[in-house]
Amino acid sequence: MASNLANRIKSTFGQMSEGHKKIASAILDNEADLENMTISEVAKRIGSSTASLSRFVKELGYNSFPEFRSAIMEDADGDVPNARDISLELNGDRSYHAMKNSILRLNQASLQSTFDLIDDETLDKATDFITQSANLAFFGIAGSSVVAMNGYFEFIRTPLNCLYTSDFHLQLMQAVKLTKHDCAILISQSGQDKDAIRIAETIKEAGCPLILLTSFKNSRVAGYADLTLISHSQETKFRKEALHTLITQISIMDLLFFLSAVKLGSSLDISIAKARRIVAKTRL
């Protein structure tokens, strides 16, 4: 079954200390048996101390151990298949029908996991940054530039002044010109790419609010972000995680667009009408 707790652990595992990685692995191995245990009992079961377990729980973003235990209990009721289950199905049945079903279920699982990792307060703050910006700039390197371009194509229809280029050096030049009155959206799946880090540094130095879309909330790039939206994906034998993340990150961009549209109100209707009229003139 898909696990929101497992998704949280996965999104931070690469940046955990060795001690916390051992705790994370032990929890995942014993999750089904932990839902009714106290913090002392869980610590004893996984071979840790209560202090270390408490720090681990807070690193995952839970305010207390009871909240963490509630997440374990919610996982027990989950009904979305995970990547391993679906990958096994692909290995067993290669018919087009089976592969179609498995791939769509894998996408569904990733989208549901992403939804579980994003809270409403963060979305509200993100859309405030976006709708109140003088300039809205999109940044992404390599595969992430696809998501940035998609975001640009969506938001260019709004009254907002949007900026995007696929060239890294031009992105740096755009970033250095941003101010506190603007908003930047940076996409970086790993959060560790050196070019993405350089762009984030430049945006931060300019004093511009930065929204980050990534799969790893404790990555180096995340350290520069004002808001971080976590996109979850699951690697399978046939498709690497970085490629699969495009689906969830584009969905987050869609979400930001539609929520921003609500805040922009009637001004969006006027802007979209103008865009439609000018595009209509290009058609035969």
Which CATH number is 16's domain given?
1.10.10.10
**Mean pLDDT score of the chain:** 82
Both 153 and 258 in a single domain? Answer: yes
Residue at which a domain ends, from 18, 47, 76 = 76
- By the 10 Å C-beta count (0-12 exposed, 13-18 middle, 19+ buried), 276 is classed as exposed
Q: What share of the chain in percent tops pLDDT 70?
A: 85
Query: Considering the domain boundaries, does residue 54 fall inside one?
Result: yes
Query: Considering the domain boundaries, does residue 56 fall inside one?
Result: yes
Residue at which a domain ends, from 76, 106, 134 = 76
As a whole number, mean pLDDT of residues 103-110 equals 73
Query: Considering the domain boundaries, does residue 100 fall inside one?
Result: no
Query: Considering the domain boundaries, does residue 105 fall inside one?
Result: no
Query: Considering the domain boundaries, does residue 92 fall inside one?
Result: no
What is the predicted pLDDT for the residue at 91? 54
For the segment 156-211, what is each residue's pLDDT rounded down to a tens digit?
999 999 999 999 999 999 999 999 999 999 999 878 889 999 999 999 999 999 99
Both 62 and 136 in a single domain? Answer: no
Structural domain total, the chain: 2
Query: Considering the domain boundaries, does residue 201 fall inside one?
Result: yes
Residue at which a domain ends, from 40, 61, 76 = 76
Query: Considering the domain boundaries, does residue 198 fall inside one?
Result: yes
Both 36 and 136 in a single domain? Answer: no
What is the predicted pLDDT for the residue at 92? 55
Both 46 and 130 in a single domain? Answer: no
As a whole number, mean pLDDT of residues 3-27 equals 77
For the segment 48-91, what is each residue's pLDDT rounded down to a tens digit?
898 999 888 888 878 888 888 877 776 655 544 444 444 444 55
Domain range for 243 is 120-280
As a whole number, mean pLDDT of residues 274-279 equals 85
Both 245 and 154 in a single domain? Answer: yes
Which CATH number is 268's domain given?
3.40.50.10490
Both 154 and 233 in a single domain? Answer: yes
